[in-house]
Amino acid sequence: MTHRPYHHGDLRAALLTHAEETLKERGPAGLSLRELARDIGVSPAAPSRHFKTKQALLDALALEGFDRLSALLIAAQDEAGESFAERLTALTRAYMGFAAANPALLNLMYSVKYDPSVPSALAKASQRLPELAAQLIEDGQRRGEVCQGPVEEIGLPVMAAMHGFVALAIAGGIQADAVEQGLKNTVAFALRGCAP
Amino acid sequence: MTHRPYHHGDLRAALLTHAEETLKERGPAGLSLRELARDIGVSPAAPSRHFKTKQALLDALALEGFDRLSALLIAAQDEAGESFAERLTALTRAYMGFAAANPALLNLMYSVKYDPSVPSALAKASQRLPELAAQLIEDGQRRGEVCQGPVEEIGLPVMAAMHGFVALAIAGGIQADAVEQGLKNTVAFALRGCAP
DNA sequence: CTACCTTGTAATCATTGACAACATTGTAGT
DNA sequence: ACTACAATGTTGTCAATGATTACAAGGTAG
């Protein structure tokens, strides 16, 4: 019989995986380091080698979330057409998809910030989305499909509309069967807001 | 010496007040029913008479938050001018003010929903904001300052832009000194998005 | 005045996050 | 190969917490 080796192999990754599952099912408060350890089959104190505190685990989860989200959004744009409208639609749809699949994670990603003790890596990761929006706008301006002006001034409202829509959708402010139509309306609204 | 009476008088309100303070300072995870009881000067189990679980207290806090927010937004509109632009600006500014003063509370208000076990009162309260937006739009349409069309279809994107801006702002996605300018830009953006 | 309902108390339980001391494993330098 | 040493897991322990139960005090309606 092969007894479990003393070292897990990749406990850190296992913790993150299980943690995200629990987060989805029971929220941040329902997440217990000890329970994670039990599920994975290590001692109660083992997780502390990788995440000093529970908050550190949550931060890592959020950071990973930003990584995945920005990768997803970039991929969505690469697969989309070239017009600004197509790209904005693709981006919003991808964002909505991520949010629908990981509502609790998205919430976590945007929950930690007002805390003064934000890990700098997290703060930096959260800035990547506005940058992505800025790039999209800049591209649209070059194509003459977006009005001229400082990129940040146009990008922020666009970003706000997209993020707000997604946030409201997962918060239940939008009925599930109205999401698709709402998404189209919001994108159309944003397109008019920054039309040349 | 006047010893504390057996009954507190209004323990429920005291709990909510202290809870909100703690929430602001240390977030939902840092909120402890026992600590609240200590601070107020009652026994550890006393809070359970008013809030069966910690989650129930958080829900009540969120519900109260929706009440205060919608009252604030209504008041802001009443004090504002009559034009759609003025009203939308006033509403957004009031929303931003509330969020800046109570970031953790706003976060809580929008955190609980993806949980299937949402108290119906809370779900209902969260619907009041979209309704308020719808009313604003309707008014704007009557004045000929907003394009015609189904109120929900126009109101949702406007609401999304406002909510998204506020959410990003308190999440740190917007530098503090850029908030004012960002607000103006977002409102202008929304006005163009639903111009007739 | 009495019976009952609300509100608070006391005592207890399992669970949790965190920490310290120790054990095991992998590895870098010799 | 041998030997430090760093990384990773384990055991044991602690105070704090959320929740529950049985009981006491205080209000209130008949």
Q: What is the pLDDT of residues A167-182, one digit of tens each?
A: 999 998 788 899 999 9
- CB-nearest partner of B161 from A54, A164, A171: A164
Residue A29 pLDDT level (bands cut at 50, 70, 90) = very high
Asked if residue A71 and residue A37 are part of one domain, the reply reads: no
Q: Is residue B3 part of a domain?
A: no
With a CB-CB cutoff of 8 Å, which residues 57-76 of chain B face chain A? Answer: none
pLDDT above 60 for A123: yes
B106 versus A152: which is more confidently predicted? B106
Nucleotides of D under 7 A from a protein CB: 7-13, 16-22, 25-27
Closest CA to B133 of B169, B87, B99, B67: B87
- The rounded distance, in Å, linking the Cα atoms of A186 and B72 is 26
Residue numbers of the domain that contains A27: 1-52
Asked if residue A66 and residue A120 are part of one domain, the reply reads: yes
Query: What is the per-residue pLDDT for B118?
Result: 67
Per-residue pLDDT tens over the stretch A81-107: 999 999 999 999 999 999 999 999 999
pLDDT above 60 for A157: yes
The residue with tokens 């929903």 is B113
Asked if residue A70 and residue A137 are part of one domain, the reply reads: yes
Q: Is residue B119 part of a domain?
A: yes
Mean pLDDT over each residue of chain A, to the nearest integer? 92
Asked if residue A154 and residue A83 are part of one domain, the reply reads: yes
Query: What is the per-residue pLDDT for B173?
Result: 78
pLDDT above 60 for A39: yes
Q: Which residues of chain B are under the pLDDT cut of 70? A: 1-7, 112-119
Asked if residue B57 and residue B47 are part of one domain, the reply reads: no
Asked if residue B57 and residue B139 are part of one domain, the reply reads: yes
pLDDT above 70 for A144: yes
In angstroms, the CA of B29 and the C1' of D13 are apart by 24
With a CB-CB cutoff of 8 Å, which residues 92-151 of chain B face chain A? Answer: 103-104, 107, 110-111, 113-115, 118, 123, 126-127, 129-130
Does any CB of chain A come closer than 8 Å to the CB of residue B181? yes
The domain spanning residue A23 has which CATH number? Answer: 1.10.10
User: Is there a contact between B68 and B20 (Cβ–Cβ < 8 Å)?
Assistant: no
Query: What is the per-residue pLDDT for A112?
Result: 63
User: Is there a contact between B108 and B61 (Cβ–Cβ < 8 Å)?
Assistant: yes
- The rounded distance, in Å, linking the Cα atoms of B173 and A156 is 10
Closest CA to B96 of B127, B72, B121: B72
Query: What is the per-residue pLDDT for B121?
Result: 82
The domain spanning residue B69 has which CATH number? Answer: 1.10.357.10
pLDDT above 50 for A18: yes
